[in-house]
Amino acid sequence: MSTAAYTATYTVTGMTCGHCVSSVKEEVGQIEGVTAVDVDLASGRVTVTGESPIDDAKVRAAVEEAGYEVTA
């Protein structure tokens, strides 16, 4: 049985501090199937890892719920 993980990377704007990073991690981490969320404050990159492909719309909605925006 394969244990392959699926990852997707997003660029998020508006994050300026550690609290911002925590908010994004918390919201995105609540999406069903997400196993890890890595946020790089300097670049705005958010890497989402899951056991299956994660719904892009759900990630975008979670980032917006945290108060930030995913850029195209």
The SS3 call for residue 16 is: coil
Q: Which tokens sit at 61?
A: 């909605």
What is d(CA 64, CA 57) in angstroms, rounded to the nearest whole number? 11
Q: Note down pLDDT in tens along the chain; length 72 residues.
A: 456 789 999 999 999 999 999 999 999 999 999 999 999 999 999 999 999 999 999 999 999 999 999 997
**15 Cβ neighbours under 8 A, 6+ residues apart:** 21, 24, 39, 41, 44, 68
Q: 6-71: what fold?
A: Alpha-Beta Plaits (3.30.70)
Q: Which pLDDT value is given to residue 1?
A: 47
Q: What residue ranges do the domains of the chain occupy?
A: 6-71
- pLDDT score of 68: 97
pLDDT reported for residue 18: 96
